[in-house]
Every structure is written in C-alpha cells, then in structure tokens.
Chain A
C-alpha cells in the first residue's frame, strides 16, 4: 500500500512539474474518489475506466473563454469506511474543483462530511443508497436509488420469476447490501422474506445456500460485493441451489460472468446500461480498452462493458457541464450551479432533483447467459 502511495505521490509531483514546465493551458482538477483495492476494487476500477476514456476523448474544457486541461486526480478509498475520509481529504488538499465517485455507498457516506466541510461538490456515480445525498448538501448523484431498485427487483421476482418466498443475504455493516435488502423486503413483503447477514471476511457461503434451500425459498437475493458473489455462485452451483439468484447493479460485472460461465445457476440483475444501446460508443470504448493493457486488466481481462464504466463516462461529462456553467474552477461556484446542470448522456438524460438525486425512472434487467458468458437483455423495468 505504502509503495503504491509513494509511487502515486512521485507521479503527482512529476505531473505537477511537467504541467508547469510544458503546458500552455491552465489545469482544472477533477477528483476521482474510487476504491482501487478491497472488496469493491474491481468495480471501482471499472468505473474509473469510463472516466479515463472520457478524459481521453475530451481532455480540455472551455471555462469562461479560457481552455483548461482537465486532470483527473485519483484517491483510493480502499472500499473501507475508515479510510474514505482520508482519501477525500487528499483530493481536497490537491485542490480539486469537484469530485466524482464513489463506487459503493458506504465510503461515499463516510466521506460526505469531509466534502461538506470543505465545500467541494461531489457527484456520486453509482452509489445508490439514499443516505449519500440525503444528509449532505454537496453530494449529488447521477444514478437511480435503492428504494427504486429494491422495488424493481421485488416486482421482478414476483411477476417474472413467480417467487413467493425470498431469501435475502447482506453483508453485516455494509450500507449498500443492507439497504438494498431492506427496500427489497419492504416491497416484497416482510413475512415472505428470510433475511440474514454474514460478517466481514466470510468465505464459506455453503451454509447460507443450505438455509435458503431448507426454508423453501424461490429466489435468492444477495446484492453483495462481487468478491462474495463469486463465492456464492460457486457454492450455488455445487450445491444445486435450485432457485434464481437476483442482485442489484453491483453484480453487473464480468467478475460475475466469469464466475457463472459453465455453471447452471440462473442470475438476474438490475443495472444502468445495456451493452448495445449505443453501438458507436460501445465500439469506441472497446477499441480503447483493447489497445491499453492496463485498461484491459482493470476491466477483468476482456472487453465486456460494465454499466458502471458507462456511468463513469457520463459522470465526467456532467462534471464538465458543471464547470462550464460555473464559469470558474472554484468549488463554491461549481456547487452553486450544479443543481441546474442537465446532460444527455449515453445512459439517458441526467438532471437533479431538490435533494441532488438523479431523476431516473427506469432500470435495465439482464440475465447471465451461462453458456456464452455474456449478459442477455431481459426487460426495461419502471415503477409507477
């Protein structure tokens, strides 16, 4: 960890000198507050990919008649709630105008006070827990929320999968999976749900699978981190789970596809974007991922697009719109105009409500094709 940090610092120094020595344009910094290690490291890296690609496509922005070079400043929150405030503080000390991220709601909630005290606006990309924006005036987000997602999943389980009893599994102390499970249970009916939590560091999920089987459930809802997901899928396969697994946006990742390929487990997820919805964009980003070895590794070794990558891409452009509208690189000015910023992204129209949440009313439902190892589109789900 220290090694990475030292390298990152050296890199920052070199970059700063290089910027001073060679760049004609002034620089505007956008903070990237994402996990690069820990439980959510894989997802965080995929989300960053979208931002890096967007930064490559549009490396400059015109603010108040002056062309600025956009520099992404990275901070690793290590998927850990206690490391998140330090990572946030790093970004603020670096003088960023606004912040994008994080993947994972818990770290975003943990860092929200740090951003609030510094008056630096943050745009959540795929953190879906309502708490992220609710208690914090500087936090905005471009994705749908868990109450919505939980309801969509519960409706899907009832009507499409014909389930009458659900097994819900969350990680103890995890805001994302715990929150999503609660909203799912609210929508599905408390009496028809079995809810259990597993502690950090668990790798033996066989007993939870047995619990679901023994209690006669029809659907296994476990919106947990992809790391735990890989274990759950493996055990579901060897123990012949016998019911579909349902999860939220986190599972829209090729970690899941790799784990599920060749098994006979049925997996359905809700997500932000379905590959193929914008063919031109898909082709462009795939070409970039395939041409860059680091990007390819960070995407899990293939060019299957994760929805979080596309969300990261859109978030970058929302940030540029905000900078343009503010006409300044001052965080305070950006914060002032951010509520009124709108943008038409690859994932749909983005606009904010009073709390700072995105106005979104639809989610994609996908199912894992275990033979080919890709996502098959199922339906677009709305609530209302």
Chain B
C-alpha cells in the first residue's frame, strides 16, 4: 500500500513546491498593491524560454545567473511600465493592464518561437536519475520541496527582520499612511516585484528541469494553479500560499493516481476515471474555498468599520 502511494506523494510534493514558488509572487504583490498580477505565470514561462536560448549560446554557470537576473529585470520593468503609471487609477484598470501584459508576453513568445515546443536544457546533477526509498526519480523532484522551504524561510526572515521587510509590512497594512511616514512606496513595490520574479525564475528552473518542454502557454496552467494555491491559503499570506500550493500539488497527484491506488488496493475492480478530473478538482477546490472561507486558510480577517 505504502509503496503504491509513495510515488504520487513525492511527485505531488515536488509539483507543490514549484507552485509555491510562483504563488508567493502572486500573494506578495496582492498583499501590497491589492493587484492580481496576471502576467506572473508568463514571466515564469519567459524565464524558461530565456534559459532554452541562453543555454545554447553559453555555458550553464553563466546562463543560470544571467537568466535569473534578466527575469528579475523583466518583472521590474513590467511593474515600471504597465502598473506604476496607473497607481492612482481605479484598481480595475491595473488589473486589465496586467491581463494585457500577459497576452502581450504570450504572443511575443509565440512570435519568437514560432509556436513550437522548445526542449529545456538538462542541468547536470539536478536532472540525474536517483534511487530513493525504492523509487526511481530525478534528483530535482527530491530537491524541490527543500529548496522551496529554504527560500520561504529566508523570505520570512527578510520580511520580519530587515528595514525593507518592515516597509513592506507597513505598506501592506496601509498604503497612504506609510507614504506619510516617509516610506518610499515605489521602492517597496519594486522590491516586491523583484523578489516575486526571482522566486518565479528559480521555480521555472525546477519546473522545466522536471517537465522539459517550453511553449508560449507553458506559464498559463502552472500560473493558474499557483493563483488558486494563493487564494486557497489566503491571498496576501506567504505561509498560506506555500501550504496551499503543497496541498494542491499532492491532492492533484493523488487524484490522478486514485484509480490505480484503489485497483491495486482491491477496493474497486473497474476504472472510474478520476484522472480525467485532476484539473477540475483544483478549480472546484477554489470555488469551495471562496464560498465557505472567502479569506482562505490563513487570510487576514477584515473588519468593516461602520
């Protein structure tokens, strides 16, 4: 029984870790700007594409840092060009601008790649096959959750113990007041985008090493799932996003394998076809959360002042 379920759990935790790295970007930007940055999933895809092209032109030890730097730059520029000029506009305008950026990036990628699948370069060591607990899997699958947790701990330390972290907390609490207190709000927002895209770039490296094919829509599904994870955990909360992402990753993986688990277990003899509904499950979960606990698992409680 344990041997049957274990591979699903491991692969689920690994996918969850990758969703978590993307979900943090969503949740941090929402926490500060109250904006759902729809272009985040596409930045993740661009990080993958850049790696494909750069790995062909230069050695990996240059390509990887350069890819991360360029992705961070892209995230910074998006905020600068598409969101900052709309700072005083209604929130809906910024949201529409975000959707526009998302489509712009996707279509540019389509134009550059010609719509074809690009094979992600295999990064030595982390893409090697390893033998763990009687299973064959790639090393990146094992590393992902640990690396994710390490980055999250560092992030939490940054937010709780540094000046910029304090500024972020202040801005997310009250935008105008913190401005009055002398916090340079634009710097804080830029820092948020830089951290978010940095994590997305690392996430993209782990994700595409595990599932090596990049197309212009590669960012759409992981982006959407990460967004669901962020909402599930309570948008605006970093631990919430991480826990939400792990839950969604594991649950999705288990649903895909549920038929097999039950058949091997002897509970059922005929297939039911749960695997077909693995994506549907994620979005049903989103609806249920929104209906019963709109603020998510760790969401901030809002008290309306009358």
Contact = CB atoms under 8 A, between A and B. Distances in A.
Interface of A: 1-4, 36-38, 41-42, 45, 78, 172, 194-199, 201-208, 210-211, 214-215, 226-227, 230-231, 234-235, 237-240, 255, 258-259, 297-298
A201, A231, A235, A259: residue with the most chain B Cβ atoms closer than 10 Å: A201
Interface in B190-232: 207, 210-213, 215, 217-218, 220-222
B213 A231 contact: yes
A3 B103 CA distance: 13
Contacts of A196: 259, 271, 273, 275-276
B138 A211 contact: no
Given A215-B264, A230-B213, A239-B135, 9 more contacts: A1-B111, A3-B111, A198-B275, A202-B221, A202-B279, A207-B7, A207-B8, A207-B257, A211-B275
B11 interface: yes
B116 interface: yes
Interface residues of B, number: 46
Given A196-B276, A201-B220, A240-B136, A41 B114 contact: yes
Main secondary structure of the interface of B (DSSP, over half): helix
Given A3-B111, A211-B260, A231-B212, A199 B119 contact: no
A255 B117 contact: yes
B42 to A, nearest CB: 14
B15 interface: yes
Given A226-B117, A238-B136, A201 B276 contact: no
Nearest to A79: B115
Contacts of B15: 204
B107 A1 contact: yes
Given A196-B276, A201-B221, A234-B212, A214 B260 contact: yes
Of residues B211, B261, B271, which shows the largest number of chain A Cβ atoms within 10 Å of its Cβ? Answer: B211
**Which of B137, B218, B220 has most chain A Cβ within 10 Å?**
B137
Given A172-B276, A227-B213, A258-B119, A204 B11 contact: yes
A41 B263 contact: no
Contacts of A198: 275-276, 278
Contacts, number: 126
A215 B156 CA distance: 43
Given A196-B275, A199-B276, A210-B257, A204 B213 contact: no
A206 B11 contact: yes
Nearest to A211: B260
Contacts of A42: 116-117
Nearest to A43: B116
A171 to B, nearest CB: 11
B111 to A, nearest CB: 6
Contacts of B4: 214
CB-CB nearest 5 A-B residue pairs: A37-B115, A201-B221, A240-B136, A207-B256, A203-B211
Contacts of A1: 107, 110-111
Contacts of B141: 206
B294 to A, nearest CB: 27
A210 B129 contact: no
Contacts of B275: 196-198, 207-208, 211
B253 interface: yes
A36 B115 contact: yes
Contact of A207 (B127, B221, B253, B280): B253
A78 B107 CA distance: 13
A85 B289 CA distance: 39
Contacts of A297: 114
Contacts of B11: 204, 206-207, 210
